Amino acid sequence: MKKTLLVLLGPTGVGKTEISLQLAEHFRCPIISSDSRQFYRELKIGTAAPNSQQLSRVKHYFIGSHSIFNEYNAGQYETDVIQLLDELFKIHDVVMLVGGSMMYIDAVCNGMDDIPTIDPEIRNFWLKQYADNGLEYIQNELIKADPLHYEQVDKLNPKRILHALEICSMTGKPYSDLRKGEKKKRKFDILKIGLNRLRPELYERINARVDEMMTDGLFEEAKQFYEFRHLNTLNTVGYKELYEYMQGVWTLDFAINMIKQDSRRYAKRQMTWFNRDKEIHWFHPQDNEEIITFVDQNLK
């Protein structure tokens, strides 16, 4: 059998964790997380990271492997995962990649373009521009620096806009000129399984999960790192909204509703991204037997 990377992906809240465990147990293989928020050991509740019981069932990698105080990006992730796969495929015919972080999944499956490391002074400059002038200002700066990339980027995600501006400043070229999008050859096969639900069903699950996170202590978890709220790693759904409450900008009820809304918006962006990939075979999360049969039949 040729070595196969089994990719299980889908939007936030769809139900990837339990079926990933069932698949990993069936194929007796480890799981590599491609949820970029679950990398951070300090953020357990707000990222819906697998609990200790779930982690004990199957060997996991990239769960709580990094700290919020250390920057980590998709390019570094590609390098680390490819090196790990070289070792895991010496033991396993199948390895699973599970998550919903679009760029990180693409980095492993297709490879990343060679983007230069950002000079800290340039990074700090653009962070200050954003802090002093707001989102609309950096949006307009990106329009001037790289109008093509501006049309493609998530315009409500300051992290993505700032990254593009940093690249433009570092190289003196539009970011879009550096993004060749050439697919790298891998030494293994890739089989992609997507999970999805009807939108009302998915949104109901997302809303319920936010309520469950609050009951489980999300507020207390976020409060521990309030003084570090400026970190990129904390500029993420579930934390940034609660920091608006802690600063007196929003009421708590409004912040919780915004977590739900931002989570639903993120799920929609994930599906827009995934729907461009014609290699994904889609299933409902409850179709676990059909998924296992399909994978068995498609392993070469």
pLDDT tens column, 233-279: 898 999 999 999 999 999 999 999 999 999 999 999 999 999 999 99
> Does residue 103 sit in the same domain as residue 33?
yes
Same domain, 205 and 279: yes
Please indicate, yes or no, whether residues 42 and 168 belong to a single structural domain of this protein: no
Claim to verify: residue 9 and residue 158 sit in the same structural domain: no
Same domain flag for 228 and 291: yes
pLDDT of res. 248: 97
Q: What are phi and psi of 207, to 5 degrees?
A: -60, -45
CA-based max dimension of the chain: 58
Give the integer Cα–Cα distance in Å for 177 and 185: 22
The pLDDT, as a whole number, for residue 172 is 84
Whichever domain contains 124, its CATH number is 1.10.20.140
- The answer to whether residue 26 scores a pLDDT higher than 70 is yes
**Alpha carbons 267 and 261: distance in angstroms, whole number:** 10
Domain count, the chain: 2
Q: Tell me how far the alpha carbon of residue 187 is from its chain's centroid.
A: 24
Q: Domain limits at 13? A: 4-113+182-298
Residues 11, 140 within the same domain = no
- Contact in structure between 255 and 46 (CB atoms under 8 Å): no
pTM score, whole prediction: 0.85
Instruction: Clarify whether residues 20 and 169 are in a common domain.
Output: no
* CATH number of the domain where residue 92 is located: 3.40.50.300
Report pLDDT digits (tens) over 85-99.
Answer: 999 999 999 999 999
φ, ψ for residue 293 (rounded to 5)? Answer: -60, -45
Can you tell me the distance from the alpha carbon of 132 to that of 237, in angstroms, rounded to the nearest whole number? 22
Q: Which of 142, 160, 178 is the last residue of a domain?
A: 178
Q: Where are the beta strands (DSSP E) in 223-273?
A: none
**pLDDT tens-place string over residues 106-121:** 999 999 877 777 877 8
Q: Are residues 266 and 194 in the same domain?
A: yes
Domain identity same for 200 and 173? no
Same domain flag for 126 and 18 = no
